[in-house]
């Protein structure tokens, strides 16, 4: 996902906002921002529940189940993007190279391209996102998945970051 968000500024004093922290887990995160271990446990726990994730440096994740990879965007990405209002996804059957642009997510004030974590063919797209694009914000690792695809080159998975490496990566962006 291209994090060079297109922001429409009214003035230099632009203020956007993050999604409402409705889930108690996130409120907990907010209160305990001085305790990074808490943060890491939270993300690790949520991903263990849904299977091991691999991440790109453009904030997509892929979860492999058998021969199928499910693709979505990370919590870091959905927070930065804001309320998703439209998902532009490819058609089933589209062949993708690793890092090829396959679509875009639009939020109120920003738009971001999506990049394929792997080489493969799109087998399914999440049709629920047409009527409910907010699923990407509410459940980015579960119901907010974007596409499913075949995995033509399994070795590409080794090039991606595991959760711990991704956590480190996003922390490095903060400095």
Partner 1 sequence: MTNHRTGKLPQRWCSRKPRCMTSTGLRVVRWWSLQDGVCLCSTMTVTLTHTRQHCSIFDVSRMLQTKVYGRDRVKFIESLIVGDIAELKDNQGTLSLFTNTKGGIMDDLIVTKTDQGYVYVVSNAGCADKDSAHMQARLQEFKAAGHDVDLEFMEESLIALQGPSMAQVLQKGVGDDLRKLTFMTSVLTPVFGIQGCRVTRCGYTGEDGVEISVPSGDVVSLTEKLLADSEVKLAGLGARDSLRLEAGLCLYGNDIDETTTPVEASLVWTIGKRRRQAQDFPGADIIVPQIKAKTQRKRVGLISTGPPVRQHTPILSSDGRVIGEVTSGCPSPCLKQNVAMGYVEAGFSKVGTSIQVEVRKKAVPAVVSKMPFVPTKYYMGQ
Q: Which residues bind partner 1 (CB under 8 A)?
A: 3-21, 29-31, 33-34, 76, 79-80, 82-83, 85-86, 88, 104, 106, 108-109, 111, 171, 173-174
Rounded distance between C-alpha atoms, residue 64 and residue 6, angstroms: 31
Q: How far is the CB of 50 from partner 1 (least distance, A)?
A: 21
Q: How far is the CB of 82 from partner 1 (least distance, A)?
A: 6
Q: How far is the CB of 165 from partner 1 (least distance, A)?
A: 16
Q: How far is the CB of 61 from partner 1 (least distance, A)?
A: 16
Max CA separation in the chain (angstroms): 50
In the complex with partner 1, the residue whose CB is nearer, 95 or 134, is: 134
In the complex with partner 1, the residue whose CB is nearer, 34 or 158, is: 34
Q: How far is the CB of 64 from partner 1 (least distance, A)?
A: 26
In the complex with partner 1, the residue whose CB is nearer, 17 or 155, is: 17
Give DSSP secondary structure letters for 45-104.
HHHHHH--EEE-TTSEEEEEETTEEEEEE-HHHHHHH-SEEEEE-PPTT-EE-TT-EEEE
In the complex with partner 1, the residue whose CB is nearer, 113 or 152, is: 113
CB 118 within 8 A of CB 149: yes
Helical (H) or strand (E) element with 115: strand 111-115
- ∠ CA 37-44-100, nearest 5°, is 120
In the complex with partner 1, the residue whose CB is nearer, 25 or 52, is: 25
Rounded distance between C-alpha atoms, residue 141 and residue 64, angstroms: 13
């Amino acid at each position: 996902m291209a994090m060079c968000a297109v922001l429409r500024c009214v003035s230099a004093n632009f203020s956007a906002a993050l999604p409402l922290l409705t889930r108690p887990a996130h409120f907990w995160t907010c209160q305990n921002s001085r305790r990074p271990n808490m943060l890491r446990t939270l993300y690790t726990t949520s991903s263990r529940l849904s299977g091991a994730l691999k991440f790109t440096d453009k904030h997509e994740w892929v979860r492999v189940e058998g021969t199928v990879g499910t693709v979505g965007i990370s919590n870091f990405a959905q927070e930065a993007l804001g309320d998703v209002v439209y998902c532009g996804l490819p058609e089933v059957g589209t062949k993708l190279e690793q890092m090829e642009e396959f679509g875009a997510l639009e939020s109120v004030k920003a738009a971001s391209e999506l990049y394929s974590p792997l080489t493969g063919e799109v087998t399914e797209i999440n049709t629920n996102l047409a009527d409910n694009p907010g699923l990407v914000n509410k459940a980015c690792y579960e119901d907010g998945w974007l596409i499913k695809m075949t995995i033509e080159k399994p070795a590409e998975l080794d090039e991606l970051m595991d959760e711990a490496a991704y956590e480190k990566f996003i922390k490095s962006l903060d400095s």
